[in-house]
Amino acid sequence: MRAGANRNMAEWRKRQDVSWRTVGLGLFTAAVAAGWFALDWRAGLAAEAVAAGVIYAYWRLEWSEWRIWRRRVAGLSYRVRKAGEEAFNGLPLGIVLYDESGRIEWHNPFFRRMTGEESAVGRYLSEWFPALRLKKDRDEVVVLPLSDRVYEAHLRPSRRLVYFFDVTERAVLQKRWKKSVSASASS
């Protein structure tokens, strides 16, 4: 990624050099034309016409390069945005935004897979997690079962947000550990 950023920066610098060359060439041709104008008005007028033509040609070249650059940046921005969306939607955690009454306003695909519902928007979190109490005053972490899985819910009431982490494997390991500890304590 760093090499790509350096390449883009080098191209941007090259574009800036071309812009300054265009300005310099325009000023130079205008100065030459002014010198010709001082000698003979017909030669000066011809030199001005040539200067105007050169400046226009360079301006057109700059404009076409700028359009190409803009298309390239737009394409790159689109690809980066899509990659970010794919990464966000592929996160191994559920994200739910809810309103003041606990009704779901938005959720990510992980929550859809958790509940087995195509869309839970408009429904209450308590439909899946009856033990879940949305407190309004402090953040909280609650462990909640859903079908054969166990989820850790990180409640953020100030933002009306819940993160769900699948902790089923951890819960199974904790049960085994408690069993082994109680078995070794009784022997």
The more confident residue out of 91 and 136 is 91
Q: How confident is the model at residue 163 (pLDDT cuts 50, 70, 90)?
A: very high
Q: How many CB atoms lie within 10 A of CB 109?
A: 13
Residue 9 has pLDDT above 70, yes or no: no
Domain spans of the chain? 2-89, 93-175
- CATH architecture of the region 93-175: 2-Layer Sandwich (3.30)
pLDDT one-digit tens code per residue, 15-39: 656 566 767 777 777 777 777 667 7
User: Both tokens of residue 16?
Assistant: 């800036």
CA distances from 172 to 4, 169, 180 (A): 45, 5, 12
Considering Cα of 36, then 40, then 46, then 48, what sign does the dihedral take? Answer: positive
Lowest mean pLDDT among 41-50, 138-147, 155-164: 41-50
Three-state DSSP string of the chain: CHHHHHHHHHHHHHHHHHHHHHHHHHHHHHHHHHHHHHHCHHHHHHHHHHHHHHHHHHHHHHHHHHHHHHHHHHHHHHHHHHHHHHHHHCCCEEEEEECCCCEEEEECHHHHHHHCCCCCCCCEHHHCCCCCCCCCCCCEEEEEEECCEEEEEEEEHHHCEEEEEECHHHHHHHHHHHHHHHHHHHC
Chain Cα centroid distance, residue 89? 12
- What pLDDT is stored for residue 95 in this prediction? 93
